[in-house]
Amino acid sequence: MHLTREEERIYNGELGWASQICMRILVKLGDLFGAERLIPIDSAHVSGVSYKTLGNAPTDFLKTLAESGEKTRVESTLNPKSFDPEYLGKRLPEKLLQEQREILRAFEKMGFKQSYTCTPYHLQKVRVGAHLAWAESSAVVYANSILGAMTNREGGPSALAAAIIGKTPDYGIHKPENRKPNILVEVDPPIKYGIEYSALGIFLGRILKDKIPIIKGLKELTEDKLKQLGAALASTGMTNMFYYENELREKSGIEKVNVGRKEIENTIEQLTTTQVPKPDLVFIGCPHCSLQEIKKIAKIVRGKKIKQEIELWICTSRFIREKAADHINELEKCGAKVLTDTCAVVTWTEELGIKTIMTNSAKTAYYAPTLNKADTILAPLEECLKTALEK
Amino acid sequence: MTKAVLKGRRIVEGLCRAEALVSMKPISFLGGVDPQTGIIVEKGSDIYGERVKDKVLCFPHGHGSTVGSYVIYALAKNSAAPAALVNEKADSVIVIGAVMANIPMVDQIDISKIRKGDIVEVDAYNGVVRIL
């Protein structure tokens, strides 16, 4: 890999241990994947923030890095943590909260924004054609496919190194030749509901591996439905990007795959693990709710009440919560918990006695059986809310 | 006396000589290796219960969470890390862990040629593994 004089000085440790180790991470990754140089990035987004998913191993590294005085060189955001200040922060054991706070202090000292969201694209404008170093696979797919930005699927540590250096190795999806679609997916009959988009993502992730699809047969498109599709796609596969415009011309010789009613329905069924339609928790907001989603939910729950025996969590970012203050009021009046900074998957639902989670997110339904040791019910948003509300 | 010389690729520079511990299955460091003791706790691992400390740890490649890199660093901090890492195909989780912990690492090695208990020399400056 060719390094500039400045990069070389950092690599050799002339600017200290912390920037050296971050530079070495980026250069070794670049060597591994055949990059020729580092390229500047507009922003970095780091996953691996929740103490529940991290455990104790990273704390020492993060603290050492933070204590070196090293700071992020670009706009740098953080994925959700394991609790919100208002609700879970008061219900979970103090020991767990302490461990989490220690991790957060290290990130904050390094200059990371206290964003705590999986949807960094809701709080910053992303330029078309911008190079990014984002971890959080759902945001990676969203950035590449919907925003027209360019980011490989970083891991927590490589995104952290990129945040500190402000650069990323130039390989993979940063190169135009690696952004070409190589498989055509025809969904017939076309799909139009959020849950179908979500299920399509799970199904495609399993069969595409890392191929880039053009997907035809998506009706009543919204950014929120595409967000669901991308999040699910990244859960089961290594695909980091998809195309969806129906006017995209077919390429001759491109591989083709058909997805029908049966595949979508089977996938939805498989993501429900219990026959008993009695969830302890109804969870909306994986990935974190957009302003449109909050508005839609507020409209449905207006003037109603949540059942005594069920919790309804609506998870979103602080930014959207502020923007949607009036709607949030309505949600809270009906008894819903509007949680920022966290979600059901990255907190300790078991500690709260939650055994069955109902959700509209295929990503959550895919991960919750292992990460939350919970049964899952995957259902459309309207049905989830209906289950939580009194008649 | 050198029994065999295996030529691979340098990943993280370094030189060491130690006993080999060989797994023919991918290793997930997060959840698969105890960061305090260096004992393999991954269910289904063919080296379950073994200790990686001070060994030349040979395995095809990593799998699982990217938090695994931090686990490799934690192993080094707890003096429970392998002396060197030898892979068939390096992946980013293991490479980053090796950089963080400064553990010599080589890949593109046919690890089936190495037996558990062999004394091996890893010359990660030149990407060479010698079975002694």
pLDDT at A355: 97
Over pLDDT 90: what percentage of chain A?
94
Give, as one character, the DSSP assignment of residue A269. H
E-assigned strands of A116-230? 132-134, 167-169, 183-191, 213-218
- Could you tell me if A48 lies within 8 Å of chain B, comparing CB atoms? yes
User: Are A233 and A239 a contacting pair, CB within 8 Å?
Assistant: yes
Question: Closest Cα to residue A39, out of A136, A173, A230?
Answer: A173
Task: Read off the pLDDT of residues B75-88 as tens digits, 9 standing for 90 and up.
Answer: 999 999 999 999 99
Q: How far is B62 from chain A (nearest CA, A)?
A: 13
ipTM field:
0.90
- CB–CB contact B95 A21 (8 Å): no
Domains for chain A: give ranges and CATH numbers. 5-175 (3.30.499.10), 180-269 (no CATH), 281-388 (3.30.499.10)
- CB–CB contact B74 A155 (8 Å): no
User: Are B98 and B56 a contacting pair, CB within 8 Å?
Assistant: no
Residue A50 has pLDDT above 60, yes or no: yes
Distances (CA, A) of B95 to A3, A64, A350: 19, 20, 34
Question: Closest Cα to residue A281, out of A315, A318, A230?
Answer: A315
Q: d(Cα A358, Cα A319) in Å, to the nearest integer?
A: 25
pLDDT at B20: 98
Burial environment of residue A255 by CB neighbours within 10 A (0 to 12, 13 to 18, 19 or more): exposed
- Could you tell me if B124 lies within 8 Å of chain A, comparing CB atoms? no
pLDDT at B38: 97
Which residues of B are less than 8 Å from A60 in CB distance? Answer: 73-74, 77
**Least trusted range by pLDDT, from A37-41, A291-295, B42-46, B125-129:** B42-46
A58: nearest CB among B70, B93, B99: B70
Which residue from A minimizes the CA distance to B100?
A: A21
Q: Name the token pair of A61.
A: 């590294």
Residue A252 has pLDDT above 80, yes or no: no
User: Are A363 and A357 a contacting pair, CB within 8 Å?
Assistant: no
Q: d(Cα A44, Cα A57) in Å, to the nearest integer?
A: 22
Domains for chain B: give ranges and CATH numbers. 4-131 (3.50.30.10)
Q: B18: how many CB neighbours lie within 10 A of its CB?
A: 17
Give me the sign of the Cα torsion angle A295, A299, A303, A307: negative
User: Are A197 and A170 a contacting pair, CB within 8 Å?
Assistant: no
Task: Read off the pLDDT of residues A150-190 as tens digits, 9 standing for 90 and up.
Answer: 999 999 999 999 999 999 999 999 999 999 999 999 999 99
Which residues of B are less than 8 Å from A56 in CB distance? Answer: 35, 74
pLDDT at B119: 97
Q: Which contiguous run of DSSP H or E holds residue A128?
A: none
B12: nearest CB among A28, A57, A158: A28
Task: Read off the pLDDT of residues B53-111 as tens digits, 9 standing for 90 and up.
Answer: 999 999 999 988 899 999 999 999 999 999 999 999 999 999 999 999 999 999 999 99
Name the maximum alpha-carbon separation found in chain A: 69
Which residues of B are less than 8 Å from A106 in CB distance? Answer: none
B99: nearest CB among A24, A60, A135: A24
- Could you tell me if B11 lies within 8 Å of chain A, comparing CB atoms? yes
Secondary structure (3-state) at A219: coil
pLDDT at A65: 96
Active-site residue, from B28, B45, B65, B92:
B65
User: Are A285 and A316 a contacting pair, CB within 8 Å?
Assistant: yes
Which residue from B minimizes the CA distance to A65?
A: B100
User: Are A305 and A378 a contacting pair, CB within 8 Å?
Assistant: no
pLDDT at A277: 82
User: Are A83 and A64 a contacting pair, CB within 8 Å?
Assistant: no
Task: Read off the pLDDT of residues A349-361 as tens digits, 9 standing for 90 and up.
Answer: 999 999 999 999 9
Q: d(Cα B95, Cα A29) in Å, to the nearest integer?
A: 7
pLDDT at A251: 64
Task: Read off the pLDDT of residues A95-143 as tens digits, 9 standing for 90 and up.
Answer: 999 999 999 999 999 999 999 999 999 999 999 999 999 999 999 999 9
Read off the pLDDT band of A247 (50, 70, 90).
low
Read off the pLDDT band of A246 (50, 70, 90).
low
- CB–CB contact A157 B96 (8 Å): yes
Distances (CA, A) of B10 to A35, B14, B54, B85, B107: 16, 9, 20, 11, 7
pLDDT at A250: 61
Residue A245 has pLDDT above 80, yes or no: no
Q: d(Cα A376, Cα A206) in Å, to the nearest integer?
A: 20
Q: How far is B22 from chain A (nearest CA, A)?
A: 23
Residue reference for tokens 């990503």: A363
φ, ψ of residue A376 to 5 degrees: the values are: -130, 150
pLDDT at A254: 84
Q: A36: how many CB neighbours lie within 10 A of its CB?
A: 10
- CB–CB contact A56 B77 (8 Å): no
Task: Read off the pLDDT of residues B25-44 as tens digits, 9 standing for 90 and up.
Answer: 999 998 899 999 999 999 89
Residue A302 has pLDDT above 90, yes or no: yes
Task: Read off the pLDDT of residues A205-239 as tens digits, 9 standing for 90 and up.
Answer: 999 988 999 999 999 999 999 999 999 999 999 99
Which residues of B are less than 8 Å from A61 in CB distance? Answer: 70, 73-74, 100
Mutate to test the interface with B, among A24, A61, A140 (most CBs of B within 10 A): A61
Residue reference for tokens 């709607």: A327
Instruction: Taking residues A254-282, report their average pLDDT.
Output: 95
Over pLDDT 70: what percentage of chain A?
98
Residue B1 has pLDDT above 80, yes or no: no
- CB–CB contact A48 B66 (8 Å): yes
Q: How far is A95 from chain B (nearest CA, A)?
A: 19
Q: How many helices and strands in chain B, by DSSP H and E? A: 3, 8
Average pLDDT of chain A is 95
Q: d(Cα A76, Cα A56) in Å, to the nearest integer?
A: 23
Q: d(Cα A385, Cα A366) in Å, to the nearest integer?
A: 20
Instruction: Taking residues A311-330, report their average pLDDT.
Output: 97
- CB–CB contact B96 A21 (8 Å): no
Question: Closest Cα to residue A315, out of A122, A153, A155?
Answer: A122
Name the maximum alpha-carbon separation found in chain B: 40
Over pLDDT 90: what percentage of chain B?
92
Residue A68 has pLDDT above 80, yes or no: yes
Read off the pLDDT band of A385 (50, 70, 90).
very high
- CB–CB contact A29 B95 (8 Å): yes
Asked if B65 is an active-site residue, the reply is yes
Q: d(Cα B81, Cα B74) in Å, to the nearest integer?
A: 8
